[in-house]
């Protein structure tokens, strides 16, 4: 392996060590050195690492990016420049520009009492014990060198806290915008704590502005308390020059219900990983994903559902539509630990390849150490049903139209799992536009509309 | 609750049952000293009186092997193996090769009788040709003359090297090259014997060809090499079955099976593997690291693997098919049973290179005790392979709460016209099913046997009749004392 790719970052870390400490909080800084030595020892993952078999990120890290380690102010007001609205969906809207959190007062006050969304730095001052009890507690165990990379370099991030028994009716929306004039890397971090019996919906949209190379590493840690209900949606609409490495870690207590749904509409290279740890009985997880990729786009979803206690339910549904020379990969592992009896787990991965050059790698895996379980997985790769296309053409639909209709129906199954009607409608529209080839830009932003 | 109690009692009573085929035959064996180096390979080659090109092949393989490390990717806990602590050649001492049954060592005949394959009976009744491999040198081949009439060659590979060098030279290593993997390289370097089958053009082999392997001498690895070549429009069904006597220290087994299928030919390869799996504490048992691969080189060729895996402490085995010829077909049917501390990581690879190729994978895993049973499979569709169709189904059945069942399927699809499906389920025998049987007067033990056999039926049905009966018995024996 070419050691120089790591060297660039190893040197940077050593040079910027004091700066990293100055711009972050003691809690974040406490785990930094350990994470860094882990990264230094392991290096960037190569296709020889099972989890990164289909996505070689090393060339992406070889690019000389700028990093805003010195926390220079964001020059733009994202509220004025970017709008990514979901029609008929009023959300509490926040931004992360590159890796800096921006909030407006009116959105903060609109949240129910006790609900906090703020930068991790602010949280370190306001909720030091909460932060100390949760930060890097999930990610730190992951043995993933890119997570360690993020922990080593992240200076700030987003902190969301919903206290016990609080129901947040209005969805909270966070827009990640990559915006720079030069090649840029951002190390984003999120810590989400949902208290007992609490409920919240969180929508994260990823955008990239301009044509420079972007690379974002993102680590999200989500703690969901007993009986809580939490929805976590990710919607990626970035550019071909964007690389996204997102590792999400979810820990669920008893009787909690979590939905994680990741939609990749346009992107460059994306590698998403989700680990769900089911720690309390009767916890339920619904994990879903859609990818509609074309040209040379690359999408890799890698998931691990870890059933650690009895009587939990997991459902997984991923659907890909691959066009042109796009590459799709899906690796989903369900692990049922010893003693996790009465587990019910279902995993489905279906993929449509539209051209000869499109490639799909599917790897649905089960690791089961308990006997009283019902687990199944299924994966298919195929094309649209010729008979169905023929049927529609007989009735006067053009071939293109018939195909769009079928593809739309194909991914709709995942969209229908979404528990936010307005987002569902919006996605129906976006997916349709995407298939019609009209979705070059997201269309919702003023940035896109007026520039 | 009643059922639970019954089960516990059942466990206690049957847990005492031991491996039925654990015995050692007293035959003098010639064993060369332990260790592996170029001199040992030269010695093996010289002892077998091999030609120069084969020695070169071995040495090349050995040199390549020394650059490799043991693969660790499988879901197996493999203890470190000291390859220098193994004797690589064991040969039952024989002055002349026997020409009739009378000349066969009576001890040997006894061994086969204990295994339930009396040679003479088989010769007379089943019409099967048995190429019995005792340790590494083929001792007795039957029906050879009959086969010869049709032009079929069925002999030990050493004999084939002597008598049909051109054929062996042409096909040896053509499907599994010596660089393929660690164990394939090792086998290529030190293989001692095995079977060679050649079916000429247009010939349908009139009987099922069968080899009974048996590891006998203590601490000798067995490295057979089987090579089957089916020429245009031919057909052959080949059976392989194994049992091994009880041993304390682990034994290594690294075989290679190569199958080369020409235009419109069909090969059916069935295995029942019942080597010593170790005792109830996981002590001893065979390490089974096998490379099996078939190449459907010709158009419309067909290859079918059927395996029933009940033995071995560790199984590492992926009978694969390379579908190079257009319209070729491949099938893989497998039942893998693990009990006590057994570990199995088995499955198949279907490499679709030709257009309109089809493959079917049916895998049934049954794990009991503290065993780990994994299915690992790959379906690859190359860019130029049009209209490929694959259907895979892997089911796992868990008996007991301390065992593991895992599935690791890989699908690499590089062509849009492919239709590839994979399905897997994991479950246990439900208490309702057992209760239902109990209600009708079927004891729990019997009920479980019934359900397991029903579960594996799809695969067992693919076995030739003689094998199916044995396999069914094996399933029951392997699972005795495991159900609780």
Higher pLDDT, B276 or A336: A336
Residues of B in contact with A348 (CB under 8 A): none
Model confidence at B123: pLDDT above 50? no
Q: Which residues of B265-295 are buried (b: 16+ CB within 10 A; e: fewer)?
A: bbbbbbbbbbbbbbbbebebbbbbbbbbbbb
- Tell me if A71 is assigned to some domain: yes
* Å between B78 CA and nearest CA of chain A: 18
pLDDT at site B216: 45
pLDDT at site A445: 46
pLDDT at site B390: 92
Which of B73, B391, B404 best probes binding to A when mutated, by most A CB atoms within 10 angstroms? B404
Both tokens assigned to B476: 């029951």
Residues of A in contact with B400 (CB under 8 A): 371
The stretch A166-181 carries a mean pLDDT of 88
CA gap A200, A198 in Å, rounded: 7
Model confidence at B12: pLDDT above 80? no
Higher pLDDT, B431 or A165: A165
pLDDT at site A84: 54
Higher pLDDT, A60 or A106: A60
Inter-chain CB proximity A375 and B402 less than 8 Å: no
| Cβ atoms of residues A159 and A117 within 8 Å | yes
Describe the crossing of helices A399-415 and A421-436 by its angle, rounded to 10 degrees.
Answer: 150
Inter-chain CB proximity B411 and A370 less than 8 Å: no
Inter-chain CB proximity B403 and A371 less than 8 Å: yes
Inter-chain CB proximity B407 and A359 less than 8 Å: no
Burial class (CB in 10 A: 0-12, 13-18, 19+), A86: buried
CA gap A121, B315 in Å, rounded: 53
Q: How many residues does chain B have?
A: 484
CA gap A127, B466 in Å, rounded: 73
| Residue B211 pLDDT grade (very low, low, confident, very high; cuts 50, 70, 90) | low
The stretch B29-44 carries a mean pLDDT of 80
| Residue A35 pLDDT grade (very low, low, confident, very high; cuts 50, 70, 90) | very high
Inter-chain CB proximity B424 and A338 less than 8 Å: no
A-proximal residues of B, 64-83, CB under 8 Å:
73, 75
| Residue A102 pLDDT grade (very low, low, confident, very high; cuts 50, 70, 90) | confident
pLDDT at site B48: 81
Question: What does the pLDDT look like over B298-307, one tens digit per residue?
Answer: 999 999 999 9
Q: Is B405 within 8 Å of chain A by CB? A: yes
| Residue A447 pLDDT grade (very low, low, confident, very high; cuts 50, 70, 90) | very low
Nearest to A356 among B398, B416, B419 (CB): B416
pLDDT at site B140: 46
Tell me what the pLDDT averaged over chain B comes to: 79
Closest residue in A to B404 (Cα–Cα): A369
| Residue B214 pLDDT grade (very low, low, confident, very high; cuts 50, 70, 90) | very low
pLDDT at site B23: 52
Q: Which domain holds residue A147?
A: 4-380
pLDDT at site B13: 43
CA gap A49, A300 in Å, rounded: 14
Which of B400, B412, B429, B452 best probes binding to A when mutated, by most A CB atoms within 10 angstroms? B412
CA gap B134, B194 in Å, rounded: 10
Q: Report the range of poorest mean pLDDT among A18-22, A89-93, B190-194, B357-361.
A: A89-93
Contacts of A56 (CB under 8 A, 6+ apart): A46, A47
pLDDT at site B7: 45
Question: What does the pLDDT look like over A220-234, one tens digit per residue?
Answer: 999 999 999 999 999
The stretch A286-311 carries a mean pLDDT of 92
Find the farthest-apart pair of alpha carbons in chain A and give their distance in angstroms, rounded. 70
Question: What does the pLDDT look like over B230-250, one tens digit per residue?
Answer: 999 999 998 886 554 545 455
The stretch A55-78 carries a mean pLDDT of 80
Residues of B in contact with A356 (CB under 8 A): 383, 415-417
**Which of these, A164, A79, A153, A159, lies nearest to A121 by C-alpha position?**
A159
Inter-chain CB proximity A374 and B416 less than 8 Å: no
pLDDT at site A289: 92
B-proximal residues of A, 329-348, CB under 8 Å:
338-339, 341
The stretch A323-352 carries a mean pLDDT of 91
Per DSSP, the residues of A53-81 read TT---HHHHHS--EE-TT-PPP-S-HHHH
Cα dihedral B103→B107→B112→B115 (10° resolution): 170
CA gap B134, B214 in Å, rounded: 5
Question: Checking DSSP bridges between strand B129-134 and strand B137-141, what pairing results, if any?
Answer: antiparallel
pLDDT at site A75: 65
- Tell me if A445 is assigned to some domain: no
Look at chain A and report how many structural domains it folds into.
1
The stretch B155-163 carries a mean pLDDT of 85
Higher pLDDT, B472 or B130: B472
Model confidence at B122: pLDDT above 50? no
Which of A371, A376, A383, A384 best probes binding to B when mutated, by most B CB atoms within 10 angstroms? A371
Contacts of B388 (CB under 8 A, 6+ apart): B352, B355, B356, B357, B358, B381, B415, B417, B418, B419, B420
CA gap A445, A429 in Å, rounded: 15
pLDDT at site A113: 86
Residues of A in contact with B414 (CB under 8 A): 359
| Residue B144 pLDDT grade (very low, low, confident, very high; cuts 50, 70, 90) | low
pLDDT at site A439: 59
pLDDT at site B76: 84
Nearest to B409 among A363, A369, A372 (CB): A363
Residues of A in contact with B433 (CB under 8 A): none
| Residue A334 pLDDT grade (very low, low, confident, very high; cuts 50, 70, 90) | very high
Q: Is B383 within 8 Å of chain A by CB? A: yes
Q: Is B401 within 8 Å of chain A by CB? A: yes
A-proximal residues of B, 422-461, CB under 8 Å:
422-428
Which of A304, A337, A365, A383 best probes binding to B when mutated, by most B CB atoms within 10 angstroms? A365
The stretch A76-87 carries a mean pLDDT of 62
* Å between A187 CA and nearest CA of chain B: 32
- Cα dihedral sign, B25-B29-B32-B33: positive
Nearest to B427 among A353, A356, A374 (CB): A374
Describe the crossing of helices B465-479 and B444-460 by its angle, rounded to 10 degrees.
Answer: 140
Model confidence at A442: pLDDT above 60? no
- Tell me if A230 is assigned to some domain: yes
Phi, psi (5° rounding) for residue A271?
Answer: -130, 110
Nearest to A356 among B73, B383, B421 (CB): B383
pLDDT at site A288: 92
Model confidence at A307: pLDDT above 60? yes
* Å between B179 CA and nearest CA of chain A: 19
Closest residue in A to B418 (Cα–Cα): A382
Percent of chain B, pLDDT > 90? 30
Inter-chain CB proximity A373 and B412 less than 8 Å: no
**Which of these, A366, A306, A338, lies nearest to B377 by C-alpha position?**
A366
| Count of A-B CB contacts under 8 Å | 116
Closest residue in B to A373 (Cα–Cα): B427
Inter-chain CB proximity B396 and A368 less than 8 Å: yes
CA gap A405, A409 in Å, rounded: 6
- Tell me if A438 is assigned to some domain: no
pLDDT at site A443: 47
| Residue B72 pLDDT grade (very low, low, confident, very high; cuts 50, 70, 90) | confident
* Å between A315 CA and nearest CA of chain B: 14
- Residue found under tokens 């084969």: B54
pLDDT at site A271: 94
* Å between A18 CA and nearest CA of chain B: 41
Q: Is B412 within 8 Å of chain A by CB? A: yes
pLDDT at site A420: 87
pLDDT at site A83: 60
Higher pLDDT, B2 or A156: A156
Q: Report the range of poorest mean pLDDT among A32-36, A260-264, B108-112, B133-137.
A: B133-137
- Tell me if A422 is assigned to some domain: no
Model confidence at B396: pLDDT above 60? yes
The stretch B389-410 carries a mean pLDDT of 88
Can you give A93-141 as a three-state secondary structure string?
A: EEEEECCEEECCHHHHHCCCCCCEEEEHHHHHHHCHHHHHHHCCCCHHH
Both tokens assigned to B329: 């077909």
| Residue A74 pLDDT grade (very low, low, confident, very high; cuts 50, 70, 90) | low
Which of A379, A385, A387, A407 best probes binding to B when mutated, by most B CB atoms within 10 angstroms? A379
pLDDT at site B106: 60
Residues of A in contact with B418 (CB under 8 A): 353, 381-382
Question: What does the pLDDT look like over B417-465, one tens digit per residue?
Answer: 888 888 888 888 878 888 999 999 988 878 888 888 888 888 888 887 7
The stretch B352-357 carries a mean pLDDT of 94
pLDDT at site B246: 47
pLDDT at site A198: 95
- Tell me if A240 is assigned to some domain: yes
* Å between A294 CA and nearest CA of chain B: 13
Residues of A in contact with B409 (CB under 8 A): 362-365, 379
- Tell me if A110 is assigned to some domain: yes
Residues of A in contact with B73 (CB under 8 A): 50
- Tell me if A431 is assigned to some domain: no
Closest residue in A to B399 (Cα–Cα): A371
The stretch B337-341 carries a mean pLDDT of 87
Tell me what the pLDDT averaged over chain A comes to: 87
Inter-chain CB proximity B418 and A353 less than 8 Å: yes
Inter-chain CB proximity B428 and A355 less than 8 Å: no
């Amino acid at each position: 392996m070419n050691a120089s790719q790591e060297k660039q970052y190893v040197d940077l870390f050593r040079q910027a060590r004091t700066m990293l400490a100055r711009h972050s909080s003691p809690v974040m800084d406490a785990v930094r050195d350990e994470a860094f030595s882990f990264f230094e020892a392991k290096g960037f993952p190569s296709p020889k690492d099972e989890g990164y078999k289909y996505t070689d990120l090393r060339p992406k890290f070889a690019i000389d990016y700028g990093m805003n380690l010195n926390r220079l102010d964001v020059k733009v007001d994202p509220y004025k420049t970017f709008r990514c609205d979901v029609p008929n969906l009023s959300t509490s809207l926040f931004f992360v520009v590159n890796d800096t959190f921006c909030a407006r007062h009116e959105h903060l006050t609109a949240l129910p009492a006790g609900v906090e969304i703020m930068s991790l730095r602010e949280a370190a001052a306001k909720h030091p014990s909460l932060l100390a009890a949760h930060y890097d507690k999930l990610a730190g165990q992951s043995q993933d060198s890119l997570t360690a990379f993020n922990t080593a370099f992240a200076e700030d991030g987003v902190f969301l806290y919903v206290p016990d028994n609080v129901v947040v009716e209005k969805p909270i929306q966070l827009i990640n915008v990559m915006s720079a004039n030069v090649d840029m890397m951002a190390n984003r971090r999120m810590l989400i704590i949902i208290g007992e019996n609490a409920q919240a919906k969180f929508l994260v949209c990823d955008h990239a502005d301009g044509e420079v190379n972007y690379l974002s590493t993102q680590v999200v840690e989500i703690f969901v308390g007993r009986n809580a209900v939490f929805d976590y949606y990710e919607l990626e609409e970035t550019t071909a020059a964007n690389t996204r490495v997102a590792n999400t870690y979810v820990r669920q207590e008893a009787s909690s219900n979590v939905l994680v749904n990741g939609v990749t509409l346009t992107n460059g290279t994306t590698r998403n990983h989700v680990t769900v740890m089911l720690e309390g009985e009767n916890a339920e997880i619904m994990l879903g994903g859609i990818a509609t990729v074309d040209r040379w786009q690359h999408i890799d979803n890698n998931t691990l559902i870890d059933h650690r206690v009895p009587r939990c339910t997991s459902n997984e549904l991923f659907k890909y539509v691959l066009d042109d020379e796009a590459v799709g990969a899906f690796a989903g592992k369900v692990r049922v630990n010893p003693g996790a009896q009465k587990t019910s787990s279902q995993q489905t991965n279906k993929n449509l390849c539209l051209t000869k050059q499109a490639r799909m790698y599917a790897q649905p895996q089960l690791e089961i150490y308990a006997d009283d379980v019902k687990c199944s997985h299924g994966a298919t790769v195929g094309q649209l049903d010729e008979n169905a296309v023929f049927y529609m053409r007989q009735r006067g639909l053009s071939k293109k139209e018939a195909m769009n209709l079928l593809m739309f129906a194909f991914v709709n199954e995942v969209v229908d799992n979404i528990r936010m009607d307005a987002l569902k409608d919006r996605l129906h529209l976006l997916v349709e536009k995407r298939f019609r080839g009209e979705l070059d830009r997201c269309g919702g932003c003023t940035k896109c509309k007026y520039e | 609750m009643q059922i639970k109690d019954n089960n516990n009692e059942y466990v206690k009573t049957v847990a005492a049952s031991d491996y039925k085929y654990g015995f050692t035959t007293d035959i003098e064996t010639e064993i060369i000293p332990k260790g592996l180096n170029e001199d040992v390979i030269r010695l093996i080659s010289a002892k077998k009186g091999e030609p120069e090109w084969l020695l070169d092949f071995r040495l090349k393989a050995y040199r390549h092997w020394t650059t490799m490390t043991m693969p660790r990717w499988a879901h197996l806990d493999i203890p470190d193996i000291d390859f220098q602590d193994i004797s690589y050649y064991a040969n039952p001492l024989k002055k002349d090769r026997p020409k009739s049954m009378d000349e066969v060592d009576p001890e040997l005949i006894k061994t086969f009788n204990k295994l339930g394959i009396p040679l003479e009976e088989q010769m007379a009744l089943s019409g099967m040709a048995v190429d019995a491999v005792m340790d590494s040198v083929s001792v007795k081949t039957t029906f050879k003359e009959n086969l010869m009439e049709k032009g079929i060659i069925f002999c030990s590979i050493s004999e084939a090297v002597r008598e049909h060098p051109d054929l062996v030279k042409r096909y040896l290593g053509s499907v599994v090259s010596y660089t393929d993997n660690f164990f394939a390289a090792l086998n290529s370097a030190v293989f001692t014997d095995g079977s060679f089958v050649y079916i000429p053009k247009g010939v349908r082999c009139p009987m099922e060809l069968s080899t009974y392997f048996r590891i006998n001498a203590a601490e000798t690895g067995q490295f057979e090499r089987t090579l089957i070549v089916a020429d245009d429009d031919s057909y052959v069904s080949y059976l392989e079955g194994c049992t091994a006597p009880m041993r304390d220290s682990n034994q290594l087994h690294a075989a290679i099976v190569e199958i080369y299928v020409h235009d419109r030919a069909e090969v059916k390869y069935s295995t029942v593997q019942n080597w010593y799996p170790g005792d109830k504490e996981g002590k001893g048992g065979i390490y089974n690291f096998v490379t099996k691969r078939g190449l459907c080189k010709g158009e419309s060729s067909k290859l079918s693997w059927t395996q029933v895996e009940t033995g071995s402490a560790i199984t590492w085995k992926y009978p694969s098919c390379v579908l190079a010829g257009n319209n070729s077909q491949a099938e893989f049917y497998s039942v893998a049973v693990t009990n006590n501390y057994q570990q199995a990581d088995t499955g198949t690879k279907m490499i679709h290179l030709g257009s309109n190729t089809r493959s079917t994978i049916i895998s049934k895993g049954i794990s009991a005790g503290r065993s780990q049973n994994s299915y690992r499979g790959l379906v690859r569709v190359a860019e130029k392979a049009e209209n490929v169709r694959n259907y895979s189904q892997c089911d796992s059945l868990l008996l007991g709460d301390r065992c593991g069942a895992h599935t690791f399927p890989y699908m690499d699809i590089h062509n849009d016209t492919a239709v590839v499906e994979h399905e897997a389920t994991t479950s246990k025998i439900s208490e309702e099913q057992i209760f239902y049987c109990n209600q009708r007067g079927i004891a729990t033990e019997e009920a479980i046997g019934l359900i397991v056999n029903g579960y594996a039926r799809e695969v067992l049905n693919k076995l030739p009749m003689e094998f199916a009966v044995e396999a069914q018995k094996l399933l029951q024996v392997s699972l005795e004392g495991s159900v609780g």
